[in-house]
Amino acid sequence: MTTATQGIKIHIEMDFDDLIGDGYSRSEAIRKVAKSWSMTHEEVNDIVQAYEAEMEDIDKNGDLGDIL
């Protein structure tokens, strides 16, 4: 993946997170990001799915949660 592509991916992930934080549903957020980036719903959904999988991967995010 090239640097420009990685940068776009990161900005799409940030836009998605911002919209979710503003109270939009997942599908609404994906639709809005797709429209603002002139991408298809499927393209944005693929990026979001990979992002969500990364966020749930303890090895990637280092979040061990509340392990006592």
Helix H, strand E, coil C: the string for 13-33 is: HHHHHHHHHCCCCHHHHHHHH
Question: pLDDT: is 29 or 68 the higher one?
Answer: 29
pTM exceeds 0.85, yes or no: no
Torsional sign, CA 65, 54, 12, 47: negative
pLDDT band at 4 (very low <50, low <70, confident <90, very high): low
pLDDT, position 31: 97
Return the pLDDT at 63: 56
**Residue 59 tokens, joined:** 């090895």
Cα 11 off chain centre by: 9
Per-residue pLDDT of 6-51, as tens digits, reads: 999 999 999 999 999 999 999 999 999 999 999 999 999 999 999 9
